Structure 1
């Protein structure tokens, strides 16, 4: 059964308890006080619900709520700091190393060292392994001693306050979240795909439509296990995804899947789905060529020759084995492009509108002046049959094609990034304007009409959530490309990790860049402080969890860009450790408290990418001195071990420049279209009184919305992308 805490963390809604009525007012007050301590508050409805439960049921619900919130913020684990008084009392880097070395010679500490002979050999060789020194890289005090060394946090009016709302019954909340995820018109992130699988196994409802093929595969894998026929299947690749998902493999088909043995009834379900797809359109056999290897391996487990009632499926596996030749549409288009030119390629791609739209930039670049009209007309027709997500992506792409990019950044579905120079020929302004106008009209026609639209201005600069793979799971996380103002005098970054099977050493670092994206300094385990930035100390093992911090005093630092990163120095990857997270806090200058204070946390995100260097976010200062957070959610490949900030500063600075100088399509684009359809829009401000149900668009749901209101907050903004 779905964990209540999972629902709370995902939706900030608390399912109604089925407990007996009674007097839980005291528990409600205690819960609200505990929530206040971590920067949350319960809505009036939620407090009223807990107050009307009998004390035992009220306490059970309160424990779930507080536990979920603490996990959401990363407050469920102790965040110790190597230097007990951080950010004060951090020594000079070299002086600290010398102190560690001197203490290794002290007679009272020799019992901690492998031996004087070993140490002398190390010194004779001219280098010192810091990890062999007894003081270095290991906590020298307990978490309780750390807390005792710091004064209590002084509250600030700038401290974050997040409201928790009351939801429906547990089954209602499960079904609501399941339908939101299943019917998403944009791909989900890895964590949401796992959650969708769990909810699909529990929910009794079936969405009217599932647009994203990965979501179809997750739902169908659950149906396959239950012996039910597959649904929403219209390509052979849909069936391959189901087999991968059911085998515990990669539903995105990016990684190799080791197929499991399927039960006989499961084989019948999969082969029946394949047979139905091909019987409806034999041209879909051409899709097999894209994944020849996986199809050949899957055929060894499905034994299609044992099922003569599915002849079309047998033909499909004949194509996979090379016994029958079928050219893919993409292959035919490429051949036409290379031999007969752009117009012939366009005529072939007319049968695949989505592929034509994704190829539009290349076609326009290669088109002769007389052929541009042919390409533009074909694209205009293709727009009618292409998903809104792809059209929005194209709209954003074209907005950046008037001039070459300073740095061209590529990202994979796994958020792995690499960068290169931009050698593409710019597109003409006339062509871009024509295509953009056509896109705007098409998207506007698809937008719904909301008569009473209320918008929180804070949502306008959020980048369109065109894919969940451009973000991470966590608290208050926003899509890549979003830019939000920073409210505070001091930035504090934190990284926490806990190793699973072997010693793992992560290093929190910050790269400082000037206005031209040139190196201006760094802070890491090799340089504890510089230019208003201070490092909390290097932790080199994490069997019980480890935390590192970096403080940046914003009016002291002279750099124009601040790029935090997490380097894997040794051990397990981000997707291998038991737990890993990155987050940032803001504080007023002089605000006291422990290094980690939950109420000052602005965001906390998981780190689960496949690279060895994480670039979760960056910060930029404008000409007036104001700072903004620029969300990145990227990973660099890095080396297997020994990654340091000095080793990737060139690629990191190029990526930073490419992202900062890119124009992202934001929620303001959709809000403008929603406003045009509605005729007007009301901008939300605290204290605004509403008497009728509205459609609210914002980062978080405010209190006081009338019953029956439709709410689109950060976890549901993708629902506003036209289908």
Structure 2
């Protein structure tokens, strides 16, 4: 059984009842040990554990602890430059810190003072409960991931891949329809990889030529989002026939193929469609048009021509056949049309045909269309969590029109959701307004908790935030990394995003408030770590508000080329107690594996005591060293954009479902269905939300 995906996504463990009796001392010892990692067992799980023999329990426990240690980052040794951090750095003279740094840069030696005994951990932590799961529930989880109406993360794909290889009943994990085109490509690619595919099973998923192109990319280990080009591998004759067979069944393939003309030409060189000109005649003709540049007017070219000529209604008539495209162009059509009311009424007719994710996006867009935001932020399609922020230069639209368009979206969604099963009495936590709707998780990093970029979390009790990172150099796919130096930094800004101070290898401690760095380690053959402590009250008293945590690959290796690299943060009430790294106090841990050299995992809003989940990358500034000073402009831009992000939130989504198929109540104890931060459907249940609430 693959425990990792089930533990991460559902917090559950599959254990089958035994025929023995486990001594209470074994169970008590195990619970004490997992408490040190921040976890405990549910009552149901404990009852099953009691039926196991010592050997059976030990086998399960060993695997469980190994997985939990990886999840929270406790599977490695933490040896910071200053083992008595934070006091050792705060108490040292400036000249001592300087000399120690220079000696390390020249000789790689670390300061001689060893670790001393520390006080026991005095912080109290909220333990996460591990529940009892079963195979049917695990299959439902995988099916939800497959059925997600949006792209999924790499860690979710790992779970699907394992299930495709090991779950006996494929029907349990494969729905009749897979809404996400990217998920189709990945899932079918996994079926092919594990020799579990049949044409009868997969044909129903493929409707367009682009679907087939995504599958070819998946089979070649490429980007199924098609944001990046793929180097197609050589396919076997059976694989070539399968791809051509799927392509032959797609309608209007030429227009679709022209969207990615050069890629299709390269793929055609691998597929050799001329060898099957009798069997796949439409494929042969389509490739002939692409290779020989035969004239062919596409749908998009017709729309663009109509817009350029100022014939708005010709464009609208063309877009009538593609409601989703019409919805995406709605703002543009309103701006260039002198008949906005007619455009609105046309959208009212077509809204029921627009997908749920697009309706939610259009609704949020027009809800906040005239808010006066200075920046607009976009997350480009692709496997790297990059964000683009641009000045908001959209001219204002009439408030009444914006309100009506948002209302049309809500009405269409309520009518659609009304056809889903009843929810009964519904409790809805208003704090869900701080959590955004998950549309795309393709570039989300593997983390302790799955969140949507821009969502806000309440800071736990405590005054000290402790950031941490750990990385290792070595070999990846047989290629040596060379020396690897990852730098952990934190930058403080005021309410207007004016720079105040930073903590990094260039400034180990603040002269104005309590913030301290554990020291700059510049090579990691056995792994290396860095920590930063920030005292929240001292920053607020100094006039600070925002803290941006960042990681910079000083030696210029992208994180995807490292054997391992992760970061996270803890909340510490008594930072001098316990070990420097205490697994039970880890609030979040993020694995860094993107093709980038700069990462911003979180932004803290100390005034509101919230964590803004960012998980984004910055492009390296080529004119500067890869450090915090050289990337201030990009960090401020991302900070302003992420703290002013306006997207549909989970409260709005669940409210639409409640209006359509339930009755709101004010007490969760009275509810049949609960939407909250910790009970019922939570923001971390992204698989459930994408599969069951975005239909």
TM-score (norm 1): 0.87
Q: 1:441 to 1:468 in 2, by over 3 A?
A: same
Deviation at 1:586, TM superposition (A): 0.6
CA distance in 1, matches of 2:693, 2:467: 32
Give 1:498's match in structure 2, choosing from 472, 493, 517.
472
- Contact 1:512-1:560 at 8 Å conserved across structures: yes
Which residue of structure 1 aligns with residue 629 of structure 2? 646
SS of the residue 2:616 aligns to: strand
Is 2:112 the counterpart of 1:99?
Answer: no
CA distance in 1, matches of 2:292, 2:348: 37
Q: 1:139 to 1:178 in 2, by over 3 A?
A: farther
Is 2:6 the counterpart of 1:40?
Answer: no
String of CA shifts for 1:552-578, please: whole Å, max 9, x gaps: 111111311111111111142112211
Which residue of structure 2 aligns with residue 113 of structure 1? none
Deviation at 1:288, TM superposition (A): 0.9
Deviation at 1:167, TM superposition (A): 0.3
Is 2:529 the counterpart of 1:547?
Answer: yes
- Contact 2:18-2:51 at 8 Å conserved across structures: no
Is 2:150 the counterpart of 1:151?
Answer: no
> Comparing both chains, which one has the higher relative contact order based on Cα–Cα distances under 8 Å and sequence gaps of 6 or more?
2
Which residue of structure 2 aligns with residue 377 of structure 1? 345
String of CA shifts for 1:2-45, please: whole Å, max 9, x gaps: 53233223321101237554436443322221121122111000
Give 1:475's match in structure 2, choosing from 428, 440, 448.
448
| Unaligned stretches of 5+ residues in structure 2 | 475-480
Give 2:649's match in structure 1, choosing from 640, 656, 666.
666
Q: 1:713 to 1:459 in 2, by over 3 A?
A: farther
Is 2:263 the counterpart of 1:301?
Answer: no
Is 2:545 the counterpart of 1:560?
Answer: yes
Deviation at 1:140, TM superposition (A): 5.3
- Contact 2:145-2:691 at 8 Å conserved across structures: no
String of CA shifts for 1:139-175, please: whole Å, max 9, x gaps: 757xxx54x442221132xx23211110013xx3542
Q: What does 1:225-624 correspond to in 2, within 5 Å? A: 225=193, 226=195, 228-229=198-199, 230-231=202-203, 232-278=205-251, 282=252, 284-307=253-276, 308-368=278-338, 371-413=339-381, 414-447=384-417, 448=420, 449-455=422-428, 459-469=432-442, 471-487=444-460, 488-500=462-474, 501-530=481-510, 531-557=513-539, 558=542, 559-589=544-574, 592-622=577-607
CA distance in 2, matches of 1:134, 1:669: 54
Deviation at 1:403, TM superposition (A): 4.1
Deviation at 1:265, TM superposition (A): 1.6
Which residue of structure 2 aligns with residue 186 of structure 1? 150
String of CA shifts for 1:536-564, please: whole Å, max 9, x gaps: 11111122211111111111113111111
Which residue of structure 2 aligns with residue 51 of structure 1? 50
- Contact 1:21-1:53 at 8 Å conserved across structures: yes
- Contact 1:27-1:50 at 8 Å conserved across structures: no
- Contact 1:477-1:605 at 8 Å conserved across structures: no
CA distance in 2, matches of 1:680, 1:597: 44
RMSD value over aligned CA atoms? 2.6
String of CA shifts for 1:425-479, please: whole Å, max 9, x gaps: 1222112101100011111122233014345565452211122136322112421
Deviates more, 1:85-94 or 1:496-505: 85-94
SS of the residue 2:377 aligns to: strand
CA distance in 2, matches of 1:160, 1:290: 51
Q: 1:617 to 1:93 in 2, by over 3 A?
A: farther
Deviation at 1:420, TM superposition (A): 2.8
Give 1:697's match in structure 2, choosing from 672, 675, 678.
675
CA distance in 2, matches of 1:507, 1:46: 41
Deviation at 1:358, TM superposition (A): 1.5
Which residue of structure 2 aligns with residue 177 of structure 1? 141
Q: 1:567 to 1:471 in 2, by over 3 A?
A: same
Is 2:43 the counterpart of 1:63?
Answer: no
Deviation at 1:338, TM superposition (A): 0.5
Give 2:166's match in structure 1, choosing from 184, 202, 206.
202
- Contact 1:82-1:140 at 8 Å conserved across structures: no
- Contact 1:513-1:561 at 8 Å conserved across structures: yes
SS of the residue 1:478 aligns to: coil
| Unaligned stretches of 5+ residues in structure 1 | 105-129, 703-708
- Contact 1:453-1:678 at 8 Å conserved across structures: no
- Contact 1:446-1:722 at 8 Å conserved across structures: no
Aligned residues: 666
